[in-house]
Amino acid sequence: MKVKVRLFGHLREYRPGNYSNNSESEVEIESGSTIIDLARKLEIPEKELSFALILVNARQADSRKKLSADDVVSFVTISDGG
C-alpha cells in the first residue's frame, strides 16, 4: 500500500529521492506496517523518533501505530518554547 510522507525539521535529511515540491512523497509499504516500519524504510534512526512529533493525518500517533493506505504521515520536530 502507499502512504504519503512529509519530513521536516531535524528529520528533513531523511527525505526520499522522489520528494516533491509540495513537500511530500509517496512511499510503498507492506500492509499492516507500523510507523516504526516506515521509519526504517526511510532509514530514520530509531533514536531520532524520540525527538519527533509524528502525526498521522495531523493527529499525534505512537510509533507502533499501524498505518492504512493513503495515510499522510508527518515527521516534525517537537518544540516547546520560543
Partner 1 sequence: MKGINGKILKVDLSRREYTVDEKGEGFYRKYIGGRGFALYYMHKEMDPKVDPFSPENMLVFAGSILVGAQGPAIPRLTVCGKSPLTGAFGESEAGGFWAPELKKAGYDAVVVTGRAEKPLYLWIKDGEVEFRDASHLWGKVTGEVQEIIREEHGDRQIHVAQIGPGGENLVRFGNISNKLGHFNGRCGLGAVMGSKNLKAIAVRGTKNIELAERDKVLELNRWTAKDGMQTSQGKRLHKSGTWTTVRSNHEAGALPTRNWNKGQFSGVDKIADESWQESIAREGRGCFACPIRCKRVVEVDDDIKVDPAYGGPEYETVGSLGSTLEIDSKKIIAKANELCNKYTLDTISTGMTIAFAMECYENGLLTREDCDGLEVKFGNGEAALSLIDKIAHREGIGDLLAEGSMRAAEKIGQGAEKYVHQVKGQEVPMHDPRVKTGVGLQYALAGYGADHMKAPHDTGFASENSNGFKTLRPLGLDKPVDPLSLSADKVRLFYNLEVYWTLIDILGCCCFGYVPVGPVSLEQLLELIKAVTGEHISLKELMEAAERSIDMARVFNNKIGLTRKDDRLSDKFFEDFSDGPLTGTGGIDRKEFEQAVELFYRMMNWDPQTLEPERSKLAKMGISWIRED
Binding residue count for partner 1, defined by CB under 8 A: 29
Q: Which of 17, 43, 50, 69 binds partner 1 (CB under 8 A)?
A: 50
Nearer to partner 1, 8 or 41 (CB): 8
Residue with cell 499492516: 32
Query: What would the x/- binding string for partner 1 be over residues 8 to 37, using CB under 8 A?
Result: xxx-x----------x--------------
Nearest to 54 by CA among 13, 5, 18: 5
List alpha helices for 1-82, DSSP H.
35-41, 46-49
Alpha-carbon distance of 67 to 8, in angstroms, equals: 20
Task: Compute the distance between CA of residue 41 and CA of residue 35 in angstroms, rounded to an integer.
Answer: 10
Q: Which residues bind partner 1 (CB under 8 A)?
A: 6, 8-10, 12, 23, 47-51, 53, 55, 57-60, 62-64, 72, 74, 76-82
